[in-house]
Amino acid sequence: MLAATILDGVDPADGRAVATAIERVSGDVPADQRDTFAAKVRATAAKAAEEAGRPLRAVKVQPEAFDFTADQPEPDWIVTNLIERATVNVCSGDTGAAKSIHWQDATARIIQGEPWLNRPTTASRVLYVDEENPARVVHARLAALGITNDDRDRFRYYRRQGIRVGVEKWTRWIEEECEDFRPDLVVIDTAMAALAVDTNDNDAVVALYTSTLRPLAERFDLAVVILHHERKPGAQEKRNAGYAMMGARQWAGQADVHMSLTATGDYTETPRDDGGFDTHKEFKLAVEKGRDGHSGRPERTTVKGTKDDRYRITSLAVEWGGRIEAATAEIDTAEKVLRVFAADPDKAWTRSGAAGAAGEAKPAEPSGTFKRAWRALIDGGDIEAEGHAHRLTEQGRKRAEALGLEIA
């Protein structure tokens, strides 16, 4: 293998580029000859650089050329006000937070030129690396989300191929994919499954961002979105977005945008007359961190679907439910509690039940019933007081009806 051939198209004065060229072909060189081979290529590069009048430097980088008389550059959005080109982003969530469904839906909306979660999209091509979901589930979801054969040339979906970006051969693979396909968005599902890094090691995570993920995003002018699991907080530990993700804190620290998804309601299936089911589950989407300091109010999302009498998904949608204003926090809590206890109005009102329904413990007595707790939440009454009628207040009943719930 000729050294000059290895250096074809490589700047001989750029030591980093030379090292990359050597690394790319070293696997084809017998192990006992690699050091000699690398030394020969570096010597050839040094001679070529000297002949060109530019000494070989270990690393060649260019300072940023600012022009402060020009207008500030505009953001180049893929998902307006959320996902920007040339960035690396993380979306975290616990098991059951529908991370994959939300970003499979984003894939469908982007390739079809439709808004996603009430935000315009301006891209058209998506590369999705999925090392988590089985074939049947992926096929059913994408079809139910409205993707058709006419859309196949605008997305590439790789599933359970053993992809580990960060390992040299898989980093080369994804670079070659981006060179060939030119995606606007790359989704990696999930960090644990598809990235070759010790998830607990801050230094290793930073190195993955700086040496692999950011260069990929900037070289191909695309956005990367990494889906990542959250860890369970300790019994007395308050949830903090920066620490909530599994492993190193730098998953959030190095991200340009950190989003989180949290389930705020139970998964429900309502029987249909045709033998199928309507499905429903609610979530909270929060922008925990943005490079411009933007976070904004959390937002409601709902995953709705239908299943036929053979339990196959026939339709699926992620719906945006608006921003959650701080002033409605108490009402939101009451509505979540209502959804959980509506089917059994005499179910015991307990601290654990409140925590499961609302994500936070509300003062309540284990001996109380749901109806008394609901009245206290709506009317500001005392749950412990005697004499509460065991029925919903008129305001509570109206709110239940607005939610489409039947209360006994």
What is the per-residue pLDDT across 233-256, written as a single tens digit (0 to 9) for each?
655 455 555 566 888 999 999 999
What is the per-residue pLDDT across 148-187, written as a single tens digit (0 to 9) for each?
999 999 999 999 999 999 999 999 999 999 999 999 999 9
φ/ψ of 337, rounded to 5, equals: -65, -45
Q: Rounded to whole angstroms, how far apart are CA atoms 214 and 371? A: 54
**How many C-beta atoms surround the C-beta of residue 92 within 10 A?**
28
Domain annotation covers residue 388: yes
Domain annotation covers residue 363: yes
Mean pLDDT of 130-149: 97
% of residues, the chain, pLDDT over 90 = 55
pLDDT band at 401 (very low <50, low <70, confident <90, very high): low
Greater pLDDT, 368 or 202: 202
> Do 102 and 39 sit in the same domain of this protein?
no
Buried b / exposed e along 200-214 (16+ C-beta atoms within 10 A):
eeeebbbebbeebbb
Domain annotation covers residue 247: yes
Asked if pLDDT for residue 16 goes beyond 60, the answer is: yes
pLDDT band at 358 (very low <50, low <70, confident <90, very high): very low
> Do 268 and 346 sit in the same domain of this protein?
no
> Do 241 and 285 sit in the same domain of this protein?
yes
For residue 306, what are its two tokens? Answer: 């239908």
Distance of CA 8 to the CA centre of its chain: 39
- pLDDT attached to residue 91: 97
What is the per-residue pLDDT across 211-220, written as a single tens digit (0 to 9) for each?
999 999 999 9
- pLDDT attached to residue 29: 82
> Do 297 and 331 sit in the same domain of this protein?
no
Domain annotation covers residue 60: no
Total domain count for the chain? 3
> Do 310 and 332 sit in the same domain of this protein?
no
> Do 131 and 161 sit in the same domain of this protein?
yes
Domain annotation covers residue 68: no
Name the pairing type of β-strands 277-290 and 299-307: antiparallel
Last residue of a domain, one of 302, 323, 344: 323
Greater pLDDT, 167 or 30: 167
- pLDDT attached to residue 403: 54
347 sits in the region (left: phi over 0; alpha: psi -120 to 50; else beta) called beta
What is the per-residue pLDDT across 328-357, written as a single tens digit (0 to 9) for each?
544 555 555 555 555 454 444 443 444 444
Mean pLDDT of 128-132: 98
> Do 316 and 346 sit in the same domain of this protein?
no
> Do 131 and 268 sit in the same domain of this protein?
yes
Domain annotation covers residue 141: yes
**What SS3 state is found at 278?**
strand
> Do 110 and 210 sit in the same domain of this protein?
yes
- pLDDT attached to residue 383: 38
Using an 8 Å Cβ cutoff, are 101 and 267 in contact? Answer: no
**Per-range mean pLDDT, top range of 76-80, 373-377, 396-400:** 76-80
Mean pLDDT of 20-36: 83
> Do 277 and 339 sit in the same domain of this protein?
no
Q: Rounded to whole angstroms, how far apart are CA atoms 280 and 321? A: 13
Greater pLDDT, 189 or 123: 189
> Do 122 and 81 sit in the same domain of this protein?
yes
CATH of the domain at 309: 3.40.50.300
**What SS3 state is found at 305?**
strand
Greater pLDDT, 178 or 16: 178
> Do 39 and 121 sit in the same domain of this protein?
no
- pLDDT attached to residue 327: 44
Mean pLDDT of 280-291: 92
Name the residue range of residue 258's domain: 77-323
Domain annotation covers residue 65: no
Domain annotation covers residue 381: yes
- Which residues have CB under 8 Å from 165's CB, separation 6+? 129, 171, 174, 188, 194, 195, 196, 212, 213
Asked if pLDDT for residue 190 goes beyond 60, the answer is: yes
Q: How deeply is 225 buried, as exposed, middle or buried, from its count of CB atoms within 10 A (0-12, 13-18, 19+)?
A: buried
Strand (E) or helix (H) holding 269: strand 268-271
